[in-house]
């Protein structure tokens, strides 16, 4: 029983305990304020307080928040901590200049988590199996590809032929020079892939051998006097004749070359090697839940975007049907690019489109109205890209399939033909229950506004129309990015490679629904179901995804808000600089003689 006028007597021990608790609370608050000075909210994720239900997406949303919080717990807030986490994760000392890199990142209020940079080490690890001198020779060899050369703190894009994509090399040069304005960056050569398409397909057996050889390079010298704290000869070459790299332009071999990069036990290696596509695209469309999904929905983004696991993409993605441009090597050579698939061997750098920040892809500085003011539904606009489609194989292209699946007339036609269209099959109700929808066509037509602004016909003189596509698609008016933000849901689909709109969608107040087979620099800092909604590359789960979020508006808003707030912290231009700076330090070490002994040890 409590008495309102009673006084409480505390013993000296109780007083000391109470004072200690208060002091701890104040110290904790001050620590958070120092770590997050510019943010008024705690950055750890929370679930959107969903009502208990058995829907698999609800489970995936809860799991994403837990996984994200676990990762943020490993954030580094000082140099000693960052260097220790580096050694624990990478198995070697950080590269020289790591202290300057950390200060550069900290001065820009970066959230520094070692796992954010995993893509760098995934890409660079095989090069530890190649002698540094051989790498330097390859990067110095004359080439039709542009090369980014850094000398004495100045980056220059060397371009042999100034084609329509040369601007990407210039943009990457600008990115590096924005770093060298204040930082001492080592001299290196970085050959660039400015094509849309990825180009290096090294067979799995070769990469496996290289990775085993590279693993022998992992060691941390016990005696610090053995460590060299500077780079050595990262650009010097002494050779009479440069090696010649063989490039294939045979588009008919794309799938065969890609399949060879998959592991021997992978689904892609279990299907025939035949280059011939079945005329019926729906033969590749799944009839059951996608492999390794959770009750039909993406549970592992890495697996879901891997064509080795999802061999049906051979006939459902333009990359494997008929790329626009083809120039492929089966050898591991240095080549830096803005994106690649999981099995290509380029080294990823922040895409030039993101650094250039062109308004047609970003929508400008404003990123949309408040969620409650948006239109319920989704919009998508684009050209019929994804490869070079023609009359014989356009039904196999991913963008054509997505526009078809979101078109009420096409879906209605499928409903009258046992659920089958030219590009897709309607998923069985047993797989994805669209609540209370007798006709998907009527339902989808009330929520979607999608279409091609140009059919990119094989007969270019007919564009934006196309004789063999006109019966199925009608070009629609272009919708500026700023106007697309009026919708709650923004699907993002691959083009010839990655989508240049993705960063802008994440920064917007709308909810990105993402399908892609391409990797980008930021992948390890974004969590599906927390920062964006992942979608299978067949789009079989699309109707289920849309139905779920239309019924749970608060969950959609929660992910959209989480994604925007997180993107504003980790997808800034400053974060691109930090990623590129770190990559250059690692590349300079790989290109240096005696690289096993090179490292940063000032913290020890």
Residue whose entry in the numeric block shows the structure tokens 């697309």: 484
Q: pLDDT tens for residues 307-329?
A: 999 999 999 999 999 999 999 99
- pLDDT at position 23: 44
Q: pLDDT tens for residues 125-167?
A: 999 999 999 999 999 999 999 999 999 999 999 998 888 899 9
440 confidence band (pLDDT: 50, 70, 90): very high
Phi, psi of 590 (to 5 degrees): -60, -35
> What is the average pLDDT across 361-372?
87
Q: Which domains does the chain have, with CATH numbers?
A: 79-143+146-192+200-245+575-597 (no CATH), 361-573 (3.40.50)
52 confidence band (pLDDT: 50, 70, 90): low
- pLDDT at position 47: 59
- HEC string of 176-243 equals HHHHHCCCCCCCEEEEECCCCCCCECCCHHHHHHHHHHHHCCCCCCCCHHHCECCCCCCCCCCCCCCC
- Cα gap 497→504, rounded to integer Å: 17
> What is the average pLDDT across 202-230?
92
Segment among 73-82, 136-145, 454-463, 521-530 with least mean pLDDT: 454-463
Q: pLDDT tens for residues 33-50?
A: 333 333 323 355 665 666
Percent of the chain with pLDDT over 70: 91
Reference 122, options 591, 523, 547, 565; nearest CA is 523
549 close to 569: Cβ distance less than 8 angstroms: no
At residue 321, the 3 state secondary structure works out as coil
At residue 143, the 3 state secondary structure works out as coil
Q: What is the DSSP letter of 273?
A: -
Q: Which two structure tokens, joined as six digits, stand for 588?
A: 């300079």
Model confidence at 15: pLDDT above 50: no
Reference 381, options 464, 475, 509, 488; nearest CA is 475
- HEC string of 426-493 equals CCCCCCCCCCCCCCHHHHHHCCEEEEEEECCCCCHHHCCCCCCCCCCCCCCCCCCHHHHCCEEEEEEE
């Amino acid at each position: 029983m409590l008495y309102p006028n009673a006084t409480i007597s505390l013993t000296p021990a109780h007083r000391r305990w109470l004072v200690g608790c208060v002091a701890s609370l104040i110290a904790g608050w001050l620590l958070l304020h120092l770590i997050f000075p510019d943010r008024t909210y705690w950055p750890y994720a929370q679930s959107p307080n969903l009502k208990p239900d058995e829907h698999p997406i609800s489970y995936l949303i809860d799991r994403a928040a837990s996984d994200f919080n676990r990762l943020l717990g490993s954030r580094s807030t000082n140099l000693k901590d960052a260097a220790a986490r580096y050694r624990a994760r990478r198995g070697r000392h950080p590269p020289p200049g790591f202290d300057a890199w950390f200060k550069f990142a900290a001065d820009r209020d970066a959230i520094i988590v070692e796992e954010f940079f995993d893509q760098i080490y995934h890409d660079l690890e095989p090069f530890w199996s190649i002698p540094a001198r051989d790498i330097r020779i390859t990067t110095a060899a004359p080439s039709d590809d542009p090369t980014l050369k850094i000398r004495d703190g100045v980056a220059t894009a060397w371009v042999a032929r100034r084609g329509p994509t040369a601007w990407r090399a210039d943009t990457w040069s600008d990115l590096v020079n924005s770093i060298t304005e204040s930082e001492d960056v080592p001299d290196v050569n970085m050959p660039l892939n400015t094509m849309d398409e990825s180009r290096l397909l090294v067979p799995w057996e070769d990469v496996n051998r290289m990775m085993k050889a590279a693993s022998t390079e992992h060691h941390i010298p016990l005696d610090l006097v053995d460590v060299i704290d500077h780079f050595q000869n990262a650009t010097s070459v002494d050779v009479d004749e440069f090696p010649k790299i063989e490039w294939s332009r045979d588009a008919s071999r794309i799938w065969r070359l890609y399949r060879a990069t998959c592991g021997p036990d992978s689904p892609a290696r279990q299907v025939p090697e035949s280059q011939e596509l079945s005329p019926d695209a729906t033969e590749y469309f799944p009839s059951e839940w996608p492999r390794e999904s959770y009750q039909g929905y993406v549970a592992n983004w890495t697996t879901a975007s891997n064509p080795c696991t999802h061999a049906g993409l051979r006939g459902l993605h333009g990359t494997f049907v008929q790329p626009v441009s083809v120039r492929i090597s089966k050898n591991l050579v240095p080549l830096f690019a803005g994106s690649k698939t999981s099995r290509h061997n380029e080294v990823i750098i922040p895409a030039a489109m993101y650094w250039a920040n062109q308004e047609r892809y970003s929508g400008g500085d404003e990123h949309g109205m408040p969620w409650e003011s948006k239109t319920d539904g989704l919009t998508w606009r684009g050209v019929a890209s994804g490869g070079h489609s023609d009359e014989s194989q356009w039904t196999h292209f991913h963008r054509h399939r997505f526009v078809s699946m979101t078109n009420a007339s096409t879906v209605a036609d499928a409903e009258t033909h046992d659920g089958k269209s030219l590009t897709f099959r309607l998923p069985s109700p047993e797989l994805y229950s669209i609540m209370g929808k007798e006709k998907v066509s009527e339902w989808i037509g009330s929520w979607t506004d999608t279409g091609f602004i140009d059919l990119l016909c094989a007969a270019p003189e007919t564009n934006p129309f196309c004789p063999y596509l006109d019966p199925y698609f009608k070009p629609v008016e272009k919708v500026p990015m700023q106007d697309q933000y009026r919708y709650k849901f923004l699907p993002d689909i691959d083009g010839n490679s990655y989508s240049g709109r993705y960063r802008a969608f994440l920064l917007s107040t709308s909810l990105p629904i993402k399908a892609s087979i391409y990797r980008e620099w930021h992948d390890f800092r974004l969590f599906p179901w927390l920062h964006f909604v992942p979608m299978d590359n067949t789009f079989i789960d699309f109707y289920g995804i849309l139905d779920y979020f239309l019924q749970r508006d608060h969950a959609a808003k929660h992910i959209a808000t989480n994604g925007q707030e997180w993107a504003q912290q980790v997808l800034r231009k400053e974060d691109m600089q930090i990623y590129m700076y770190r990559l250059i330090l690692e590349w300079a070490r790989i290109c240096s003689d005696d690289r096993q002994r090179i490292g940063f040890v000032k913290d020890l």
